[in-house]
Amino acid sequence: MLKKKIEDICNRQVEREGYSSNLYLAMASWAETNGFSGVAGWMYTQSDEERLHMLKFIKYINERGGKAVMPALKMPPAEYHSVEEVFKEVLAHEEFVTESINEIVALTLEEKDFNTHNFLQWFVMEQVEEEGSVRMVLDKLRLVGKNNMYEFDRDIMGLRRPSANAAVTP
Ligand SMILES: [Fe+2]
Ligand SMILES: [Fe+2]
């Protein structure tokens, strides 16, 4: 049985993963309507992964005798000035999520909830990969970006981790 404190902070993460999914959908929509179909594809795929992260938390909370609650999500920004700005926002958001996961890990140690601690290890590693993959996109953007957004947009899907979808099956 989950302690209430742990259930609550896991439900907070349901909201954050759900918001991540919507944020990346908003970015996909901006990219798609500004001619960046490759970037839009990257964001749609990323949004699907975040939904699976949310599902992992929902299923874990319910499996452990708690109750996952679906939150209202705040509206993500709809307008951006550039692809670079979009990916800088993605990195800042992923750093925020990493911090959020780490807070839950710290609470599980405090509360001696080793089951949830173990459940979270997948997310700890996932955040290392998420941040790494966004930093790689930003590096690539610095190399070819601005001068050649056509090539960047055409190639961006090739920068995705090939195993990412297999790894997030809840
Ligand atoms: Fe996530
Ligand atoms: Fe993420």
CB 26 within 8 A of CB 78: yes
Ligand 1 centre distance from Cα of residue 53 (Å): 5
Name, in order, each residue with C-beta under 8 angstroms of 67's C-beta and a sequence gap of 6 or more: 7, 61
Q: Determine the pLDDT at residue 144.
A: 87
Ligand 1 centre distance from Cα of residue 43 (Å): 13
Residue with tokens 């990493």: 98
Ligand 1 centre distance from Cα of residue 160 (Å): 15
Name, in order, each residue with C-beta under 8 angstroms of 164's C-beta and a sequence gap of 6 or more: 45, 49, 129
Name, in order, each residue with C-beta under 8 angstroms of 11's C-beta and a sequence gap of 6 or more: 57, 61, 66, 68, 69, 71
What is the chain's pLDDT, residue by residue, as a tens digit (170 residues)? 999 999 999 999 999 999 999 999 999 999 999 999 999 999 999 999 999 999 999 999 999 999 999 999 999 999 999 999 999 999 999 999 999 999 999 999 999 999 999 999 999 999 999 999 999 999 999 998 778 899 999 999 988 876 555 444 44
Q: Determine the pLDDT at residue 9.
A: 98
Indicate which ligand has the atom closest to the C-alpha of 16. Answer: 1
Start-to-end Cα distance in the chain? 20
Q: Residue 38 corresponds to which tokens in the numbers above?
A: 């490759």
Indicate which ligand has the atom closest to the C-alpha of 57. Answer: 1
Q: Determine the pLDDT at residue 76.
A: 98
Instruction: State pTM to two decimals.
Output: 0.93
Cα 60 to Cα 22: distance, rounded to the nearest angstrom: 21
